[in-house]
Chain A
Amino acid sequence: MDAMYIGIEIIKMVVIFLLMVQLVPILVWIERRGSAFIQNRFGPNRVGPLGLVQLLADAVKFAFKEEFIPGGSYKFLFLLAPVVALIPGVLAFAAIPLGAPFSLEPFEMFGNTWGPYDLKLQGYDYGIGIVFVLGVSSLAAYSLLMAGWGSANKYSLFGALRASAQMISYELGLGLSLVGILLLYGTFSFNEMIAIQDGPLTFMFMGKETIIPFLPNWGIFYQPLGAILFFVSVFAESNRLPFDLPEAEAELVAGYHTEYGGLKMNMFYIGEYGHMMVASALMATFYFGGYNLPFVTPEAINEMFTGMGFAFNGASLMTTLVSHLILMTKVFLFLWIFIWVRWTLPRFRYDQLMDLGWKTILPWALANTVITAFVVVLMRGA
């Protein structure tokens, strides 16, 4: 609880937030080049090598746009909505472990000796990890509603109401599809879930422990239906195609952010990409082993680094770095799938969308829960 610890925690918070904000230009670049690749054309390739500086130029352009506030609107709400759009994504992202925990032995810096620390590469660790993330994600509806109403434009208002109705309908599918995986892991905490998913695939079959040695113990093999339902629900949660009717160009102009321009509109997009990042990190944590490689524990990686000649602190930090890179690889894989699906499928009509959420995903998620519970009792209760 000394100054160095508090300093590290504060820096960690700021770094997590900046990580999310700085990944957005990279994602937009991947999206533009990726969509161009899918559509057999060039993406941005003039500004800088491979068009990488394009996004920086775009950011600067957005900052210099004219400030516009529509007449008759509520100025404070209009300006508050993009700020509120950032908050849920960041709060959820900071609750997910981004790497293995690391411990530091006493070390010398600035002439003082700072004591042994046990730190996690996670903003804050509540034991109820997933419940907190779901709760905070459901606050995302407010930025839409404030934007739609604060614009004093009846099309924006109806776009915002439809977008929030869509969002809350799919939150049900999201929450319910996770109950199956909770039944199997028996814990809410992300760190424990990741620790459970190591080693080969092990399950109880008719009271006997069965091991399949060539498959890792990942959640996707236990709950394939739950994973598919979860993935579809997060598409709708972050208003991504094929569920992006609220912001579709041809329908309601631009829906709830019609009257926004410049950096304020960019902040909505940062929020949307933030939700995508949280969704990808959750998929990786629940179903694909999180920051671990299959069959390799963080301790084994730590020993490998110690064997290479690193000191205790160095080996610990290198382990965390490697696990963070592993998680980021998985996250980028899922983000690429988000982008790939966006440029492949056509958009759903609104009533088709709501029907899918209430009449297909919800019953299937309930069925998934009941069947999983039944199988667990059958196989383990013997």
Chain B
Amino acid sequence: MSPLVATVFLALFVTGFGFLLVFVASILGPKTNQSKVKKMAYECGLTSDGADRSKIPVKFYLTAILFILFDIEIIFLYPWAVAYQDYVSEGAGWFIFSSMFVFVLIFIFGLFWEIKSNALEWE
């Protein structure tokens, strides 16, 4: 039996269990008494005046994009790491080290440029 069937079964089982818990909680509680005041969003007791979306902070977007780029780099490092010892025992150790070193150097340059130019400032 392939392990994928086990994975999908576990995911579906957990989802079903979760929905069961939510359903049980909704049945067991006392009858809700939904008043208009109760349904308002909780903002430390002050009345809300809606969300101001005129100025959207761009730092979330920058953080996510930089995360994607560095995640891709890490994904390249993974097969390199597991094949490293094979290359070393074959005698091609310095070649494989230097090829990845150049790649990592490009990334270190990118990271230091980001830090220097304060792209990741969260004041």
Contacts and interface: CB of A to CB of B under 8 A. Distances in A.
A64 B123 CA distance: 43
B81 A83 contact: no
A363 B108 CA distance: 8
A13 interface: yes
Chain B interface secondary structure, helix, strand, loop or mixed? helix
Interface residues of B, number: 69
Interface stretch (A44-52, A183-191, A233-241): A183-191
Contacts of B26: 67
Contact of B32 (A10, A68, A188): A68
A376 B122 CA distance: 38
Interface string B43-63: 110001001000000011001
Contacts of B84: 183, 186, 373, 376
- Among B51, B89, B122, the most chain A Cβ lie within 10 Å of the Cβ of B122
Interface in A59-73: 62-68, 70-72
A370 B67 CA distance: 20
Given A63-B24, A71-B40, A253-B42, A380 B122 contact: no
A91 interface: yes
Given A87-B14, A267-B18, A377-B97, A176 B77 contact: yes
A102 to B, nearest CB: 17
B13 A259 contact: no
Interface string A115-147: 000000001111000010000000000000000
A263 B97 contact: no
A94 B9 CA distance: 12
A297 B97 CA distance: 34
A10 B18 CA distance: 18
A264 B48 CA distance: 24
A161 B81 CA distance: 33
Contacts of B18: 82-84, 86-87, 267
Contacts of A37: none
Given A70-B39, A82-B18, A182 B82 contact: yes
Contacts of A188: 78, 82
Contact of B30 (A10, A66, A90, A187): A66
B102 to A, nearest CB: 11
Interface string A360-373: 00110010011001
A363 B116 CA distance: 14
A373 B10 contact: no
Contacts of A380: 85, 88-89, 93
Given A168-B63, A182-B82, A350-B122, A369 B77 contact: yes
Given A1-B1, A64-B28, A131 B78 contact: yes
A151 B93 CA distance: 54
A225 to B, nearest CB: 16
A124 B41 contact: no
Nearest to B92: A381
A86 B14 contact: yes
Contacts of B25: 62-63, 65, 67, 262-264
A9 B66 CA distance: 41
- Among A16, A267, A351, A381, the most chain B Cβ lie within 10 Å of the Cβ of A381
B55 to A, nearest CB: 13
Contacts of A123: 6-7, 10
Interface stretch (A152-160, A213-221, A316-324): A152-160
Contacts of B77: 176, 179, 369
A14 B13 contact: yes
Interface string B83-115: 111101101011001001100100110010011
13 contacts: A66-B29, A71-B34, A72-B39, A83-B15, A123-B6, A172-B71, A183-B81, A186-B82, A186-B83, A258-B42, A262-B29, A264-B25, A362-B70
Given A13-B13, A63-B24, A67-B32, 18 more contacts: A5-B1, A14-B13, A17-B14, A64-B30, A67-B29, A70-B40, A124-B4, A124-B10, A157-B51, A175-B71, A179-B77, A264-B22, A359-B120, A366-B107, A376-B93, A377-B97, A380-B93, A381-B93
Interface of A: 1, 5-6, 9-10, 13-14, 16-17, 62-68, 70-72, 79, 82-84, 86-87, 90-91, 94, 123-126, 131, 151-157, 161, 165, 168-169, 171-172, 175-176, 179, 182-183, 186-188, 253, 258-259, 262-264, 267, 350-351, 354-355, 358-359, 362-363, 366, 369-370, 373-374, 376-377, 380-381
Leading 4 A-B pairs by shortest Cβ distance: A71-B39, A83-B18, A124-B3, A182-B81
